[in-house]
């Protein structure tokens, strides 16, 4: 299960999606197919509550979140 937050959840019309992928790069492709306009947004993928900057293999047991840009400190 992929957790969606903020503007990304709004665009998807849901807070979660059921998607499977071998890695985060493949996951981004599936997300872009499912969520209109996602490719034009800046967002981050977190795996088990840790931001993943590049590609990372996935087993299917992780907690995955798609995070929109945020500000704060």
pLDDT digits (tens, 9 = 90+) for 3-12: 999 999 999 9
- In a 3-state reduction of DSSP, which class is residue 12? helix
What gap in Å lies between CA 13 and CA 43, rounded to an integer? 17
Say if residues 67 and 4 touch (Cβ distance below 8 Å).
Answer: no
Q: What is the pLDDT of residue 4?
A: 97
Q: What is the pLDDT of residue 69?
A: 81
Say if residues 2 and 14 touch (Cβ distance below 8 Å).
Answer: no
* Confidence (pTM): 0.89
What gap in Å lies between CA 52 and CA 37, rounded to an integer? 21
Q: What is the pLDDT of residue 71?
A: 55
Mind listing the pLDDT tens digit for each residue in 33-46?
A: 999 999 899 999 99
Q: What is the mean pLDDT of residues 46-71?
A: 92
């Amino acid at each position: 299960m992929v957790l969606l937050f903020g503007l990304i959840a709004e665009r998807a019309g849901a807070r979660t999606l059921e998607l499977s992928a071998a890695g985060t790069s493949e996951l981004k492709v599936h997300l872009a197919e499912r969520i209109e306009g996602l490719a034009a947004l800046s967002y981050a993928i977190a795996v088990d509550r840790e931001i993943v900057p590049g590609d990372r293999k996935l087993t299917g047991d992780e907690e995955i979140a798609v995070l929109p840009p945020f500000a704060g400190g």
